[in-house]
Amino acid sequence: MQKFEYKVLEVSAAGGFFSGGGVVNFQALSDKLNELGRQGWEVIGSTDINRNYGDTRNVMIILKRPLNDS
């Protein structure tokens, strides 16, 4: 049976007070995901983490990769 390991990546959405949420640096995120993809990680889910009044402060990305049975 195939076994997996999982990783949770928290991405900060920078933003000021009363800014209506933050902004994710998409280039930096793409670079990080490409790096993890080369290590065998695959994104399986994501969600924003809201604070007061629905402002997005962080994004949680869940990744998995197969475990080697060696």
Residue at 4 is within a domain:
no
Residue at 28 is within a domain:
yes
Residue at 8 is within a domain:
no
The answer, yes or no, to whether residue 70 has pLDDT greater than 70, is: no
Task: Pull the structure tokens for residue 21.
Answer: 């949420």
pTM of the model: 0.78
Predicted pLDDT of residue 23: 74
Q: Model confidence over 42-54: pLDDT tens digits?
A: 999 998 887 767 6
Q: Is 63 exposed, middle or buried (0-12, 13-18, 19+ CB in 10 A)?
A: buried
Of 6, 23, 4, 17, whose CA–CA distance to 52 is shortest?
A: 17
Residue at 2 is within a domain:
no
Domain with 23 in it = 13-65
Q: Model confidence over 13-45: pLDDT tens digits?
A: 765 555 555 677 888 889 999 999 999 999 999
